[in-house]
Amino acid sequence: MRVRRILAAVIATASLAGVGLTGAATATAATAQGASSYVTPSQCKQGGGTADLTANVCKGGTHDGETID
């Protein structure tokens, strides 16, 4: 009986934690798609890209296509 209560509490806690993580991931994805982000030339380089200052765009890496501020 005690094992069932503990197991139920663990499952309930995991379920609540999963909802929180899913909500955070959804909010992050919405921000990444909806708003244009700005990166510095050093952030572009740290992400593996090249800062194209004539077009103000980061080319390649993790910040590919983002505007350079």
Question: Which residue reads 């899913």 in tokens?
Answer: 22
Q: Which of 16-25, 28-37, 42-51 has the highest mean pLDDT?
A: 42-51
Q: What is the pTM of this model?
A: 0.47
pLDDT digits (tens, 9 = 90+) for 48-69: 999 999 999 999 999 999 999 8
